[in-house]
């Protein structure tokens, strides 16, 4: 049936064929251009939620200054610079606005760089820079404070020097096993803390066994003083609780204690660890310097996982553009 129509298309002029193609495309994918327009409106409203202000100097002396490539442009009367809704976002200066939404969909899916590059027909290094521009922007939104019962525990990742010269030890082949077993200095400790309202913090805390001071340095300021810290019986957490003056409930897992007083346990945080590890496997070792970006990414997906896929994509895109961020390719290269 469709073949008959297709054959008749040849009788149309080039212009008519193009018009037909556009009509079909709009019928089949009606929301594509609308999606960007709708998102732009949401981005603007979230970014300038307390009023229009210059993204360069913060001045509120702003006037609309015509359109450039169909985007509204603004002029700051104080610093004389212009900007648009996307200036200083991960996508400013991007030559492919039609690929933003697609890119975000793949962030939510957790696609690897080769897969993204292939799907979007962009260079793998472009895919890499977008990923870290987006993750840096998301991270600038920081973590929420944790309240009430706060479970915490650390997990370990093998140190990876991907994309950097190895200076402090001999480079080793990927397949050789670590000589030191268990928690060696080559392993990066990641501290995870989570309250019962699904607020999660995950941050890299140093190499090898993590000290109380290191735990404090990375998560201390995010845990409200009135919280009840809930951990295993490790001494580093006992000391951390003491430093901060938290009420501390310890779970002795070696003695097969799982839940104390019916409510205190570290199962949520341990389940988070195992989901995190499974998710990270696909990247086959993440450069240690980017580990916090990946941790934030996974945490983001965890917190939003109850939302529909489309909502997750929208949220991530709007949030990545919420604050002025100016990660440049140069910055990522020299990091
Ligand atoms: Zn200004």
CATH code: domain 149-164+182-309 is 3.30.420.10
- Distance between CA atoms of 146 and 160, rounded to whole angstroms? 30
Quick one: pLDDT band at residue 188, thresholds 50, 70, 90?
Answer: very high
Rounded mean pLDDT of 153-163? Answer: 84
Query: DSSP string of 61-130?
Result: -EEEEEEETTEEEEEETTT--EEETTTTSTTTT-S-GGGHHHHHHHHHHT--HHHHHHHHT--HHHHHHH
CA of 243 to the centre of ligand 1 (A): 44
- What is the residue-averaged pLDDT of the chain? 88
Rounded mean pLDDT of 260-282? Answer: 95
User: Which residue carries 């702003």 as its tokens?
Assistant: 62
- DSSP-derived letter for residue 195 is E
- Distance between CA atoms of 55 and 330, rounded to whole angstroms? 21
**Helix/strand/coil for 144:** coil
CA of 324 to the centre of ligand 1 (A): 13
Rounded mean pLDDT of 289-294? Answer: 95
- Distance between CA atoms of 103 and 117, rounded to whole angstroms? 10
pLDDT value of position 291: 95
Flag whether pLDDT at 167 surpasses 50.
no
User: Which residue carries 């799907």 as its tokens?
Assistant: 119
Among candidate residues 64, 46, 65, 62, the one with its CA nearest the CA of residue 54: 62
CA of 87 to the centre of ligand 1 (A): 12
Quick one: pLDDT band at residue 36, thresholds 50, 70, 90?
Answer: confident
Quick one: pLDDT band at residue 256, thresholds 50, 70, 90?
Answer: confident
Angle (CA) 268-236-185 rounded to 5° is 95
pLDDT value of position 254: 78
CA of 75 to the centre of ligand 1 (A): 8
Answer for the pair 88, 331: CB distance below 8 angstroms, yes or no.
Answer: no
User: Cα–Cα distances in Å, from 280 out to 158, 273, 276, 293, 308?
Assistant: 12, 10, 6, 12, 22
pLDDT value of position 21: 86
CA of 72 to the centre of ligand 1 (A): 16
CA of 85 to the centre of ligand 1 (A): 14
């Amino acid at each position: 049936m469709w073949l008959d129509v297709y054959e008749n298309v040849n009788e149309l002029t080039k212009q008519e064929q193009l018009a037909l193609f556009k009509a079909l495309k709009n019928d089949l994918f009606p929301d594509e251009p609308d999606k960007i327009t709708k998102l732009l409106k949401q981005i603007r409203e979230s970014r300038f939620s307390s009023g229009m202000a210059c993204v360069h100097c913060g001045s509120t002396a702003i006037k609309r200054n015509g359109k450039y490539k169909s985007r509204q442009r603004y002029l700051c009367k104080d610093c004389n610079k212009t900007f648009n809704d996307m200036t200083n976002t991960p996508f400013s200066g991007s030559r492919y606005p039609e690929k933003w939404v697609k890119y975000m969909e793949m962030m939510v899916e957790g696609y690897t760089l080769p897969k993204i590059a292939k799907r979007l027909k962009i260079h793998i290094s472009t895919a890499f820079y977008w990923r870290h521009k987006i993750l840096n922007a998301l991270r600038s939104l920081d973590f929420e404070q944790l309240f009430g019962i706060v479970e915490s525990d650390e997990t370990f990742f093998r140190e990876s020097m991907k994309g950097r010269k190895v200076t402090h030890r001999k480079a080793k082949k990927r397949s050789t096993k670590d000589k030191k077993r268990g928690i060696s200095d080559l392993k990066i400790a990641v501290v995870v803390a989570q309250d019962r309202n699904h607020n999660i913090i995950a941050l890299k805390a140093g190499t090898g066994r993590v000290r109380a001071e290191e735990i404090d340095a990375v998560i201390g300021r995010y845990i409200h003083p009135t919280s009840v810290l809930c951990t295993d019986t490790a001494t580093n957490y006992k000391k951390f609780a003491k430093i901060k003056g938290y009420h501390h409930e310890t779970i002795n897992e070696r003695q097969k204690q799982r839940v104390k007083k019916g409510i205190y346990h570290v199962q949520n945080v341990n389940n988070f660890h195992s989901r995190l590890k499974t998710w990270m496997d696909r990247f086959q070792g993440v450069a240690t310097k980017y580990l916090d970006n990946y941790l934030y990414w996974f945490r983001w997906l965890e917190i939003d996982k109850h939302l529909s896929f489309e909502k997750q994509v929208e949220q991530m895109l709007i949030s990545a553009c919420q604050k002025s961020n100016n990660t440049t390719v140069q910055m990522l290269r020299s990091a």
